[in-house]
Amino acid sequence: MTEIVQPDRRQPVLGDQPLEQPGQPFRGQRVVVGRGESVAAVAIVRPRLRRLAVADAALAFERARTPSVAGMTSQSETQRTWIITGASAGFGRAIAEYAVGRGDNVVLAVRRPGSVADLADAHRDQVLVAEFDVRDTWRAGDVVRSAVERFGRVDVLVNNAGRGVVGAAEEVGEEELRASLELHLLGPAALVRAVLPYFREQGSGTIVQMSSQGGRISFPGVGAYSAGKFALEGWSEALAGEVAPFGVRVMIVEPSRFRTSFNAPDVLGIADASAAYTGLLGAVRNDMASADGIQEGDPVRAAQIIVDLVAGDELPLRLPLGREAVERIARSYRQNLQELERWAPTARAADFPGAAASVRPI
């Protein structure tokens, strides 16, 4: 039967906690779920803050901004263990299927375990299902420990769970904006903190952050979504420099439109429209809602690219996926550079006259 890791439903009290030690036994009770001998593990995990000391910040930063090379050994001939959030559909499901097909182990972190039962039943020796809502940050350590218990190690974390929100800044309320940040930044950050002690101890590991072209460029109507993705990208760029000395790699993936459920009516969030923005955002709403099923991007091809890159030795810090992403990001960079050059004299005039240029460690 399928093994499912079910979280304890009690939210722990926050407090100062020691750093988690890799290899720490899984604490919790074993309960029988489903049919037959299926077993679920339950544990209470408190969120912890972890700080990494980087001896040479400048070197780490430069290593993170160039194609990554993990250690001195090839990544291409080893069996990996993946943790993938949002694995029930879209990119997450495609990555999981391709990784399993290569012989890797996969932990499917999903809100509804039944959505991946077919994949788990077909590959019982390679697949573990973890019932997990990314917004429940205090349960991140539970997922990581269950992966280590089952497969002995973790090699790749894919933060994939996400959801689009369409609406003007005035239309999207604080609750919706906060939910976007929890889903796209705070949840992934908690999983990264939970997995890093294991990565550091083993001297290797790869973090794949599924962002969007909307994490590099934004336009009217998608501010709440882009806010979460911009935050994820800024946080991840700093992360890459911090963990590079430990042999840990970070790749930020920036897809354009792909044929996933992202634009489906029951998935895409659309804020209540106000008359003031109908003329400006009406076309944006219609475009986002009508794109379902006709997107040009193929998630299966994208998954193969991602998995093959992780299996190789070189990894870009940022990977736009799809023709539209490449073209729109490139156009945005050209426009930003033109604007920067135009206003550079005005910007430089803000410094103290004759002051020496700042010297920074990175």
3-state secondary structure of 224: helix
Are 215 and 237 in contact by the 8 Å Cβ rule? The answer is: no
Q: Please, are residues 256 and 213 in contact by the beta-carbon 8 Å criterion?
A: yes
DSSP for 271-327 reads PPP-GGGHHHHHHHHHHHHH-TTT-SB-HHHHHHHHHHHHHSSEE-SEEEESHHHHH
Instruction: Determine the Cα–Cα distance for residues 254 and 305; give it in Å rounded to an integer.
Output: 13
The rounded distance, in Å, linking the Cα atoms of 277 and 324 is: 26
Residue 99 CA from chain centroid, whole number: 17
Nearest-angstrom CA–CA distance, 236 and 230: 10
Listed in sequence order, the residues at least 6 apart from 165 whose beta carbon sits closer than 8 Å to its beta carbon are 172, 176, 180, 222, 224, 225, 268, 269, 270, 271
Q: Which H or E run contains 218? A: none
Residues 295, 259 contacting (CB under 8 angstroms): yes
Active site members:
211, 225, 229
Q: Rounded CA gap, 131 and 2, in Å?
A: 12
Interstrand relation of 81-85 and 156-159 (parallel, antiparallel or unpaired):
parallel
Report how far residue 58's alpha carbon sits from residue 241's, in angstroms, rounded to the nearest whole number: 8
